[in-house]
Structure 1
Amino acid sequence: MSTSKATPGLRRSLSVTDVVLITVSGVTPASSIFVIAPFALQGAGSGTFLAFALAALLAAAFALCYAELGAAHPNAGGEYVMIERVFGRRLSLLMYLLILCLLLFVPAVLATGAAPYLNSALGARLDGAEVALAMIVLCFGIAVLDIKLNAWLTGSFLLLEVAALTLIAWLGFSEARQPAAVLWQPVMAAADGGLATVPVAAIAAMAGIAVFAYNGFGGAVYFAEDMSESGRPVAQAVLATLLIVVLVELIPVTALILGAPSLAELSRQADPIHYVLSHLSSPAVARVISGGIFLSVFNAIIAIVVQSGRFLYSSGRDGLWPAPASRALQRIHPRFGTPWVATLALALPSALLTFHSSLAGLASFTVIILMLSYLLLALAALRSRRGRHPHPYRMPWWPWPPLLAAAGSVYLLWAALRDAPARDGWIMAGIVLAGVLLAAQRPRCKVLIIDEQKER
């Protein structure tokens, strides 16, 4: 893949705060609490607190890898550029396919899961597929607009999302019905209807789900070319995003556990979050919270689409696609300064997937992709300092964070593959094979790395 002919670049208009607002919105903490955390509550009961705390430690190790690599290799392509610069084309193309799968499926899945919250907020019975399709169309259209406008818009929605989570935390802590000891002495429903101690293995397994809930902090690296200054500010954006995400997810999860009327019932419920909130709030408050969750999902899709546009723009500039497609993906909107073709490239497949996607079917598959991606990044962080590229940000306590990240991702990858259906294994094998075949047919990537000193 040779670098394509130079084209007008992205507008450098974003501050660290702007990038943090967009990236936290892409993580969508409220949706993580309502859609992903229930899996952990069902599998580990009050041990969910320890699972989320353990996941926060692992996420910090992953974030430090993202921060150092993102500062050393600033590029809108994100992860695949980092891997290319450290390991070469084969692993780079594998990483590209892994991230492309996530960016393709996640918006459709989030949109599909948003309809029940809109119906709850409005007291309506809108068709889920039609709601999802409308959300996809609107979000892709908004994502094409000026990046500064998107930062303001996602930041505004994020304030509403944090307000809803703050309300949940206040309800849980103010009406706590469980002793604090259940957080570090976890229990869940037993077969006889009572309570049983949660096995350590169950907590470790649910840590993978919790990492999935935190995932998205690394998305800040996609905006390296939109920032007024890259390098060290990219690292600051990654780490600030993770800190905010951990706080706004771990605190409400803790409040929901302590506010649960019965820990046995909590882990038996098909919808444990609704079970707790139905006892802590009135129907009117529940509708307000549902409205906040719907807006958070809408906000997350905008942020993810904005990130995917930068990702595909970079791959077109690097010549990863056939020449006509690569030239199209590099096109910058003359008014908004955004990669509009790259941003809209996944609109049609995402719209079609709204009729054929489900979170339950994607959860284990997504965890597998995440853990494999994190493993590659951890290995890259261990090797990167041996290269010739400058590192404007160096993580503290190196090499322990990438070693922890590598060990944690290997264990969670093994646990996910062990419990995953055979279909997920076949899909992952197909992705790996596709990466190998693509690498064999394409010349070595020569990705464009932004050098601010030369630009100035």
Structure 2
Amino acid sequence: MSQEASSPGLRRSLSVTDVVLITVSGVTPASSIFVIAPFALQGAGSGAFLAFALAAALAVAFALCYAELGAAHPNAGGEYVIIERVFGRALSLQMYLLILCLLLFIPAVLATGAAPYLNSALGTRLDGAEVALAMIVLCFGIAVLDIKLNAWLTGSFLLLELAALALIAWLGFSEAQQPATVLWQPVKAAADGGPSAVSAATIFAMVGTAVFAYNGFGGAVYFAEDMRESGRPVARAVLAALSIVVLVELIPVTALILGAPSLAEMSRQADPINYVLSHLSSPTLARVISGGIFLSVFNAIIAIVVQSGRFLYSSGRDGLWPAPANRALQRIHPRFDTPWVATLALAIPSALLTFHSSLGDLASFTVIILMLNYLLLALAALRSRLGLHPHPYRMPGWPWPPLLAVVGSLALLWAVLRDAPARDWWIIGGIALTGLLLAGRKQPVAVLIVEEQKER
């Protein structure tokens, strides 16, 4: 039985624009390009453009699933509540644990990749783990504050971030060193150091990384209970967020590829984007851009922590945990009207993850979790219309978008898992086993309240 009545609830104060600002800030296009896109540039050279273009097509299919399901099942719990209402408790718990891992890993991935940009901006040699730890602590503290303040803060940072990306795009296009043909005839460094053609298999292997760079648009569903109106506005927020993200990521990636002095040299670099920028701009401008990138990562972590607070608040309200933990997670701050205990719950494990030695390992494991999440959501989008729940928003072209999402997520999941270390398989197995053990408990999770549906 839902424990919704024991919680005072979240303040319905956000507009669609507010939710889009927080959601896009959580995606943080700049940090996606500077922290995640380098893996695609190293792996596929100029084929990163095709990887990002294919990922955009898949992201549209994923976003349509989020939009329809988020409008039909508006709840701060987001994905795991949707899965419970469509498939039942067992799969809901698996989804819950997958999302919990994503919300735990992504801030650590972003914070770990931010230190080089702070050092570049300030001309310092600060320790990466210490910078990441400080970022995590500050971001969790800020996320407890009033949601409208966080919307304003993240929106302001987002404008600066978009300005930096626009500058990068202008530099790349205005000083292009490569012909446009390298976008559809990609090249990268060969074993002998010269340029070589990039295979379709190599490009496809980088699509998962590009999907990770776009990921976060679905976070709009976590604010369904903070919005003045639910239903179709949730769908609009998801689709608007994705449109902005694809636009402001794909254009700068294209500009960086065209502006590279040597595509072979770019793909060999440990930091391919700084390699390009160092040739396109002055040292002073490069430092300003690096500072902007660092602030964008900081902004992203705030937005993601705000989302994770809503997610954990919902799980406490729905009775997932033992009673004392449920009561704690439902606590609303008397001044800020935010779920402050739920917001701070992941602070310590996120901080500990910042001391992980390999950014690449963190990122690749996060892609695996992400693909499993998308797969379950796509299956739910196929199944949901067969249930009794109203669908105020219906995606165009159903069932083709969720079918594309299922095929795409399975293919990418297989591509990543083929090369995954045994450790990742053990962690995935542990998540599945934990979900099965939790499913054996008698305490219900995220029970559908028919009266709530009728009131909407």
Equivalent-residue separation in structure 2 for 1:178 and 1:20 (angstroms): 35
Task: Give the alignment of 1:79-90 within 5 angstroms.
Answer: 79-90=79-90
Equivalent-residue separation in structure 2 for 1:94 and 1:452 (angstroms): 25
1:134 and 2:134 aligned: yes
Equivalent-residue separation in structure 1 for 2:449 and 2:345 (angstroms): 23
1:60 and 2:60 aligned: yes
The letter for the 2-side match of 1:390 is P
* Percent of residue pairs identical: 86
Task: Give the alignment of 1:353-368 within 5 angstroms.
Answer: 353-356=353-356, 358-368=358-368
Aligned to 2:414: 414
Change over 3 Å in CA distance of 1:324–1:5 after alignment to 2: farther
Q: Tell me if structure 2 keeps the 8 A contact 1:55–1:211.
A: yes
Aligned to 1:109: 109
The letter for the 2-side match of 1:144 is V
Give the CA deviation at 1:186.
1.2
Equivalent-residue separation in structure 2 for 1:270 and 1:349 (angstroms): 28
Equivalent-residue separation in structure 2 for 1:52 and 1:452 (angstroms): 40
Aligned to 2:433: 433
The letter for the 2-side match of 1:439 is A
Give the CA deviation at 1:129.
2.5
Query: Matched residue of 2:270: which SS?
Result: coil
Equivalent-residue separation in structure 1 for 2:360 and 2:153 (angstroms): 30
Equivalent-residue separation in structure 2 for 1:114 and 1:413 (angstroms): 27
For each residue in 1:36-89, what CA deviation from the matched residue of structure 2 results, as whole angstroms up to 9, or x when unmatched? 111111111111111100000000000000000000000000000010000001
Equivalent-residue separation in structure 2 for 1:386 and 1:292 (angstroms): 47
For each residue in 1:206-262, what CA deviation from the matched residue of structure 2 results, as whole angstroms up to 9, or x when unmatched? 111100100000000000000000100000000000000001100000000000111
The letter for the 2-side match of 1:83 is I
| Gapped regions of structure 1 (runs ≥ 5) | none
1:191 and 2:191 aligned: yes
Aligned to 1:262: 262
Q: Tell me if structure 2 keeps the 8 A contact 1:75–1:450.
A: no
Aligned to 2:343: 343
Give the CA deviation at 1:356.
3.1
Aligned to 2:331: 331
Q: Give the paired residue count.
A: 456
Give the CA deviation at 1:350.
1.8
Aligned to 1:290: 290
| Gapped regions of structure 2 (runs ≥ 5) | none
For each residue in 1:295-349, what CA deviation from the matched residue of structure 2 results, as whole angstroms up to 9, or x when unmatched? 0010001001000000000000000000010011011112111111111111122
Task: Give the alignment of 1:388-403 within 5 angstroms.
Answer: 388-403=388-403
TM-score (norm 2): 0.97
Q: Tell me if structure 2 keeps the 8 A contact 1:90–1:436.
A: yes
Give the CA deviation at 1:443.
3.9
Q: Please identify, of 192-201 and 210-219, the stretch whose mean Cα deviation from structure 2 is larger.
A: 192-201
Task: Give the alignment of 1:277-316 within 5 angstroms.
Answer: 277-316=277-316
Equivalent-residue separation in structure 1 for 2:45 and 2:124 (angstroms): 32
Aligned to 2:72: 72
The letter for the 2-side match of 1:97 is L
Equivalent-residue separation in structure 2 for 1:51 and 1:355 (angstroms): 30
1:232 and 2:232 aligned: yes
Give the CA deviation at 1:20.
0.5
Equivalent-residue separation in structure 2 for 1:361 and 1:403 (angstroms): 30
1:37 and 2:37 aligned: yes
Aligned to 1:404: 404
Q: Tell me if structure 2 keeps the 8 A contact 1:112–1:354.
A: yes
Give the CA deviation at 1:421.
1.1
Q: Tell me if structure 1 keeps the 8 A contact 2:76–2:221.
A: yes
Equivalent-residue separation in structure 1 for 2:452 and 2:4 (angstroms): 19
Q: Tell me if structure 2 keeps the 8 A contact 1:3–1:446.
A: no
1:273 and 2:276 aligned: no
The letter for the 2-side match of 1:44 is A
Q: Tell me if structure 2 keeps the 8 A contact 1:14–1:226.
A: yes
Give the CA deviation at 1:163.
0.8
The letter for the 2-side match of 1:96 is Y
Q: Tell me if structure 1 keeps the 8 A contact 2:66–2:238.
A: yes
Q: Tell me if structure 2 keeps the 8 A contact 1:61–1:401.
A: yes
